[in-house]
Structures are given as structure tokens and as C-alpha cells.
Structure 1
Amino acid sequence: MIEALFMVNNPNMALKDMAQRPIVHAGNPENHVLDLKKSQNVAILLRALNMTIDEVCEALMEGNSDTLGTELLESLLKMAPTEEEERKLKEFNDESPFKLGPAEKFLTAVVDIPFAFKRVDALLYIANFDSEIEYLKGSFETLQAACEELRNSRMFRKLLEAVLKTGNRMNIGTNRGDAHAFKLNTLLKLVDVKGTDGKTTLLHFVVQEIIRAEGSRLSSANQNLKAEKTQQSDFQDDVEYRKLGLQVISGLSGELTNVKKAAAMDSDVLSIDVAKLATGISKIREVIKLNEGIAPKDSSLNFSESMNEFLKKAEEEIVRIQAQYRDALSMVKELTGYFHGNSAQEEAHPFRIFTVVRDFLSILDRACKEAAKVNERTIYSLTRPLPNPPIFLGLSVRQHYSSSDDETPS
């Protein structure tokens, strides 16, 4: 193939090469029952195997998935012959004038095993079972941890409170100025509401207010304030407030790590994986039933024993996994109801609450970095005597912000 694709197209060179190449007489011709590509793929696999044909067949007869491994079992399934190919393979015998190629010889040995490729499919299910269980358990634990993080985050609730109060203040005097709650999707729109300077957003304003409030709270808790303060001490306190407050709100993203992991999950894929694990156990029951129809041999008895032992363990594990799945979904639904009020509207996208929070955290991280730069400039300017010190620019009070059309208790 390499010669045909990449050799220099020079007729004189080709003639010279043919003249120098010795003539090899064909020995016993090989018969390729499989199509050429399939035969080549099987031959490549055989060369990569660290097992003999007899060892592969013995593992299939005994039902030993550990000996074969996931990669080999997947490869065996891909090379399964069609009914026509299997019929032709079984017609060949040692007296045939044609010699079978290595790929055909291997598959001939495999198809002689009763329901060989049903065994392969069942053994592949067994080989993947433990890793699938661990993956699903980890996913459910992440969902549960994400729910607990959002419910228990003081800073997240503080931020929601600040957004609600700010939105009500901006819309005072309108039918939107007395909202009791708002949809979490509103968090993603905070950067769209800009102040009179055209740069400062509503999110910037909320972040700065929380920095000030949290910094003051932490500073008061950690030290006894003096009754009388000089201008210098007031300035030092202000610097300390800003640092402490910024640390608190900047830490929210790190506090909600499982929320970000949950946002990367696909609820449909997770549901399909649980269903596939449950329905896949039927493959084990099928091969056990087929094996019962074989005349008792040591290998068939060993196969039945191996399959029955796995079946008992797997059925119990699947029941536990299905229960954990229901519990995790119930927690997500309850959390969605807590923040959105009507979780039924979100049933088509049950994990949407996590994606909204994750996207908001990304926006919040950028706002915190910008706030840090503003604070640095403000601190620097406060060390110099200025007639009019810079202040944080206000927002247009009459911008309609609150999404009270969708109001629901949170």
C-alpha cells in the first residue's frame, strides 16, 4: 500500500525494480473469506495480541472477562462475521486445497464456540460494569454536592439579596419596583445594565457594594474599633475593608466548584447511561439461558457459574444505582423549585440551574478582577491630595431592571 501510494512515478525506475526483483512462485494459495479490509484489521489485531488463539477461545468458553480485557472484547465484536461469512468459514476443513489466512483461521476457531459473539457482548458488559458504576456514582455525588453548595452558600444568597434590592431601588415608582424575587437568568443580564458613564454596569455596582459591606463586617468582627480615629486610620480601615470584601466575593467561584462540574453534565446522557446499565443485564441472562442448552462440560459449567455469580452482584448494584439516580434528580428538582419557584417549567432542562450559575460565576470573576483594579486606582488616588476624589459612578435610577413579570418565591 505504501509503495502504491508514495513511490516515485518513474517508469524507468519501475522497470529496473522489476528486473532486479526475484520471481517468487506462489505456494499454497490463501483463501480470504472476509473482505480485504476486514481481513487486514483482524490480522493486525492478532499480531498485537499477547495471547494465542487457544487462550482466547478458552477465555470465551470459561467466561473470563479479566483475561480478555475491554479493548480485545471491543475488537472481537467489531470483527464479528456476517451469517454468510460464518457459513463459508465453517465449510472449510483441513483437506481443502485452499489454505485459510491467519484472520480466517482465527475466526474459524472462534465461531466454533457456541454463541461466541453473544459471549463476547456479555463479557464486554461485565468488563465495563465496575467503571460504569463508579462513573455514575461520581456523577450523582457531584449533583448532590452542587445542590448543597448552592443552598448553603451565604455569599450567594447575599449576592441575590443585593441584586433584588438594587433592582427594586432602580425601578421604584413602577410596577416593577416591589419585586419579591427574580429568575436566576436575570443574573446573566446584570452586565447589560450600564450606568451614566457608559462603562459601569449593574454588576460592578453590586460587587462594589458587597465588597464594602462584607469588608466592614469582617473588619469589625476581627478588631475593636477605636472611639476616635484620625484621617489616616480611616483610610487604613477603608483599604482593609476593600481587601477583605474582595476576598470574600472573589472566593464564591471556588466555593461552588461542584456547581461548575454539574453544569458540564448532560441530563439526557446520564439518563441513557443509567438505562443502558439496567437493560444490559439482559445480555447476561440470555447467555446463561443459551449455555443451559449445551451438553454439560467443565467449560460450560464454569461459564454458568461465572455468569450467575456476576448476575447476582450486578442486579443488587443496579437497584442501588437507580435509587441514587432518583435521589439526585429529586434534590436537583427541589433546588430548582427553591430558586425558581416552579420547577415544572425546567423539567426539560433539569440541570439548567447549574449552567446559569456557572455562566454567572464566570462573569462575576471578571467583574471582581475589574473591581480589584478600580480599588487599586482608588487607593492610590486617596494617598494623594485631590480637590475632588473619584467616586463610584451611580446608575440611572429609572432603568427598568427587575424581571417581576416572572416573579416566583425564592
Structure 2
Amino acid sequence: TSDSLGTELLETLVKMAPSKEEEIRLREYNGDTSKLGPAERFLKALLDIPFAFKRVDAMLYRASFKEEIDHIRKSYATLEAACEELRSNRLFLKLLEAVLKTGNRMNVGTIRGDAQAFKLDTLLKLVDVKGTDGKTTLLHFVVQEIIKAEGARVASTGEQPNINSTSDIINNKLHALGTEVKSQKDNEEDYRKLGLQVVAGLSTEMGNIKKAAGIDSDILSSSVSKLASGLGKLREILQIDVTRQTKDGNVGGTSKQGNFYRSMESFLRLAEEDICRIQEEEKKAFSRVKEITEYFHGDAAKEEAHPLRIFVVVRDFLGALDQVCRESGRLQTRNFQSSVQPPTISVNTFSRPLPRGFYERRLDSSDDESSSP
């Protein structure tokens, strides 16, 4: 059976399939087979089995089917999870709001001031917009403001931030922050450390987005198409087998050929059901991706040539955010906050309306976030 032979051996056999000319020569050879090389003798023996290499193709398809289905299904689950992370992550949405507010704040008095619009690509542009020192970016400024607000929120609510991914950033003594009597300056420093821990953990919280960014939508879709196409070829092979057995008067018989037919026919029924399910999952996953892209980009989503580009944009932003958090951790003792001033940026990058209900969600997310930029 295909399970006992394994995919590696079956793949090797498929690669050994002779060309049409080679097959004719081997079939017509009537000499001493001992004079043939080992490979030729093996191939000639295989050719004595009706449709041998078509059977090998069918067996390889069956042997690799479950692994292929599981991989595709896992990819679709990742896409759906990534969409959920984008739509519901509180801190990420807070960062988006901070981007918009900061851009508007720096353009008050201009015809573009108070523009309630943005596009996720703006997140990446934050990395490049530098201040007068040539080093500090608008992202540094926004992150410092978020760190301050998040630190105060965590300290006031007693919430325990995720310490697993950033334990090297903050000392365990900060868990007892509320029980210690400290000066205002000490408390502000501890708030920043707590806030930094929260912001630095965002990349871990949005892990599915990083995975989704690495998915090639064309390859994923073609994998489903190939599985469906392979199913069609399997039906053809079984039909050929039925035709041959009909001529031999052995349809459904107990021969080895009959066993192959019954085994593959049973697999075919189950595989057809799996293909139908995976095609539905494909539609559902890409529909979710389309919805989330339209949610953030509005009509501009129709211009996207790459359906998964939204995840690439956010992944790159998270990478830049990680770098800023590392820099902030090193610079906290140097009173970094006082040196960070928002550089000038044009609001023409904020070219799309905010998602409907964005501010309503933000107001509901936390009563303590009014201090955010």
C-alpha cells in the first residue's frame, strides 16, 4: 500500500518513470534480461504490471494527501487568527489612534489639520520620519507616549503584564509597585518600565500576523487547485482500471488489481469530502482577509495586488516597534522622554477614513486611556 511504501520511495519511483520511447524499447526487448542493467531490469518488471506508473502516481497522491490538507488548513487558520488580531488587539488599535492624533496635532492650522484618516502604510512611514537630531523618529515619540500611558494604566489597575517575552526588560520588583512608597520621579520611571514591557509584548501578542505575512497566497491557492486536479487524475486512473478489469471479466474481483481499485475507491470518496471542505475554508479565509483589508484601507483595498499585503505591512511595523522598544530600554536612564520631540510630517499620508466604529471601540476598551496621544 501507499502507506507502507512511504512518500520518499513513491517519489523516487515516479522520477524513474521511463519516456515513451524507453518504454517501447523495454517492452519489445526479448533478449536475455540478465544482460540488462539493474535499473532496466527493474523497469521492465514494473512495466509488466498494467498502468504501473499511473498507479504509483495515485499511491503518491494518497500518501501525501493528509499532510497537504493539514498544511493548507493550518495556513487558513493562521489567516483567520491574524485577521482577528488586527481587528481586536487593544494596544495595536491604540497605536493607530496615536498615529492619527499625532499627525493631526502637528498640522493644526493647516488645511489638512484634523484629518480623521489614515492608511496602514503610514505605520511604516513613521520609521523614516526623523526629528531635528537626525535619529529620533515620529515612531519614537508615539511609542514613548504609549509607554507612559500604558504604564500608568497597568499600575492603576494592578494588571499583570506579559513577562514571558520581555523579562529581561523589567525587574520582578515592579510587580509590587503599588505597595511601595516612592517619589513622583521614581513612580514615573517605574510606570515607563511597566509601559515598555506592555508595548514590547505586542509583537508576541500578534504572532499570527507574522506567520500570515510569510504565506504566499498564490502558492496556497495553487496547492488547493493541485489537490483538486489530482483527484480528477485519480478518477481517470480508476476508470482505466475498471475498463481493463471489465475486459478481463474481473471487476471487483479478489486479485491484487481488484484490491487496488477497492482501496483507492474508498480513499477517493473521503478525499472528495475533504477537498470540498478545504475549498469552503479557502473562501472563508480569503473573505476574512478581504474584509479586514477593506476595514482598514477602505476603497483602497481594491487597489491591492497582493491580497495578504496588509500582514506584511504590520509585520514590518512590529519589527520596527521591537527595535524602538530595545532602544527605549537602553535609553530610559538617560531621560529619553524629555529629548523626544515630534518631527514634522505631512498629513497627506493619512489618506483613508478611519474604520467605522473605531472611536467607539477605543472608548469602550479602557476608561484609563484618555491620557494617550
Normalising to structure 1: TM-score of the pair? Answer: 0.76
Secondary structure of 1:350 counterpart = coil
Encode CA deviations 1:228-280: one digit per residue, 9 max, x unaligned.
x99x5212211221111111111100000000000000111111001111111
- Maintained 8 Å contact 2:82/2:208: yes
Q: 1:186 aligns with which of 122, 126, 131?
A: 122
CA distance in 1, matches of 2:318, 2:203: 6
CA distance in 1, matches of 2:110, 2:56: 69
Question: Residue 312 of structure 1 corresponds to which residue in structure 2?
Answer: 269
What is the Cα-based RMSD across aligned positions, in Å?
A: 2.2
- Maintained 8 Å contact 2:115/2:347: no
Quickly say closer, same or farther: Cα 1:97–1:289, change in 2 above 3 A: closer
Q: CA deviation at 1:393?
A: 3.7
Quickly say closer, same or farther: Cα 1:276–1:343, change in 2 above 3 A: farther
In structure 1, list runs of 5 or more residues that go unmatched.
1-63, 380-389
Encode CA deviations 1:189-211: one digit per residue, 9 max, x unaligned.
11222222222210110011111
Q: How does 1:161-172 map to 2 (within 5 A)?
A: 161-172=97-108
CA distance in 2, matches of 1:71, 1:334: 41
In structure 2, give the amino acid aligned to 1:145: A
Question: Residue 15 of structure 2 corresponds to which residue in structure 1?
Answer: 78
Quickly say closer, same or farther: Cα 1:116–1:375, change in 2 above 3 A: same
- Number of positions where the alignment pairs a residue of Structure 1 with one of Structure 2: 331
Q: 1:252 aligns with which of 197, 202, 207?
A: 202
Quickly say closer, same or farther: Cα 1:343–1:277, change in 2 above 3 A: farther
Answering whether residue 339 of structure 2 is matched by residue 392 of structure 1, we say yes
- Maintained 8 Å contact 1:214/1:244: yes
CA distance in 1, matches of 2:88, 2:10: 46
Answering whether residue 63 of structure 2 is matched by residue 127 of structure 1, we say yes
In structure 1, give the amino acid aligned to 2:111: N
Question: Residue 222 of structure 2 corresponds to which residue in structure 1?
Answer: 272
Encode CA deviations 1:154-178: one digit per residue, 9 max, x unaligned.
0000100111000001111222222
In structure 2, list runs of 5 or more residues that go unmatched.
159-175, 356-373
Structure with the greater relative contact order (CA < 8 A, sep ≥ 6): 1 or 2? Answer: 2
Question: Residue 50 of structure 2 corresponds to which residue in structure 1?
Answer: 114
Answering whether residue 309 of structure 2 is matched by residue 352 of structure 1, we say yes
In structure 2, give the amino acid aligned to 1:321: I
In structure 2, give the amino acid aligned to 1:90: R
Q: CA deviation at 1:322?
A: 0.5
In structure 2, give the amino acid aligned to 1:198: G
Q: 1:288 aligns with which of 234, 238, 253?
A: 238
Q: CA deviation at 1:400?
A: 2.0
Over 6 Å off, 4+ runs: 223-226
Identity between Structure 1 and Structure 2 (%): 56
CA distance in 2, matches of 1:130, 1:225: 53
Answering whether residue 354 of structure 2 is matched by residue 409 of structure 1, we say yes
CA distance in 1, matches of 2:27, 2:212: 52
Question: Residue 163 of structure 2 corresponds to which residue in structure 1?
Answer: none
- Maintained 8 Å contact 1:218/1:244: yes
Encode CA deviations 1:133-166: one digit per residue, 9 max, x unaligned.
1101110111111111111100000100111000
Q: 1:212 aligns with which of 123, 134, 148?
A: 148
Normalising to structure 2: TM-score of the pair? Answer: 0.84
Quickly say closer, same or farther: Cα 1:402–1:207, change in 2 above 3 A: farther
In structure 1, give the amino acid aligned to 2:13: L
Q: 1:300 aligns with which of 257, 268, 275?
A: 257
CA distance in 2, matches of 1:225, 1:256: 29
CA distance in 2, matches of 1:400, 1:84: 69
Q: CA deviation at 1:122?
A: 1.2
Question: Residue 59 of structure 1 corresponds to which residue in structure 2?
Answer: none
